[in-house]
Amino acid sequence: MTSKLIYIFTLALALSFFTIGACAQLVPTSFGFPTIVQIANAVAWSQDTANAVDYQNVNIDFSGGGVPFSPGVAFSFPSISQTSLQTQSVTHTDFSQSNQFAEFAYPFVGVGATGLPLSGFGF
């Protein structure tokens, strides 16, 4: 029994030399990379057309004789004609398309960083 205790004590002493000799001091280290992606697409098409025509014609003719009123004076009833033409054409077309995609990713792992809020951002 005593030899067994001495054997266990010697083994524990030998293991303590190995564990005491191996030590490391870790500093805060961050691993990660930023990923930024942006894709934008915009298409616009517009068409405007406007046409307007206005044609007017007025004809008043007093040469048709008349009703005599007194010597040298006569009432004349004119001949009146009127022509009017109006046209209008309006065309309007719009087309718009817009695509946008944005992404921000920052995968990180903090090793040995205690108490740091965002270890990957270098704070």
Q: For residue 53, tell me if it sits in a domain.
A: yes
pLDDT of residue 26: 59
User: Tell me: the pLDDT tens digits for 102-115?
Assistant: 988 765 655 555 55
Q: For residue 103, tell me if it sits in a domain.
A: yes
* Sign of the CA dihedral running 8, 14, 19, 20: positive
Residue 29 has pLDDT above 80, yes or no: no
pLDDT of residue 73: 75
The DSSP letter of residue 120 is G
Count how many domains the chain has: 1
The model's pTM is 0.36
- Domain extent at residue 72: 24-121
Nearest to 120 by CA among 52, 31, 36, 41: 31
What is the distance between the alpha carbons of residues 84 and 110, in angstroms, rounded to a whole number? 86
pLDDT of residue 120: 47
Q: What average pLDDT does range 111-123 have in this prediction?
A: 52
Between CA 95 and CA 103, with CA 97 as vertex, the angle to 5 degrees is 170
Q: For residue 38, tell me if it sits in a domain.
A: yes
Which residues are CB-neighbours of 50 under 8 A, at least 6 positions away? 89, 90, 91
Q: For residue 17, tell me if it sits in a domain.
A: no
Q: For residue 15, tell me if it sits in a domain.
A: no
Residue 62 has pLDDT above 80, yes or no: no
Q: For residue 95, tell me if it sits in a domain.
A: yes
Q: For residue 52, tell me if it sits in a domain.
A: yes
Q: For residue 1, tell me if it sits in a domain.
A: no
The residue whose two tokens read 């309006």 is 90
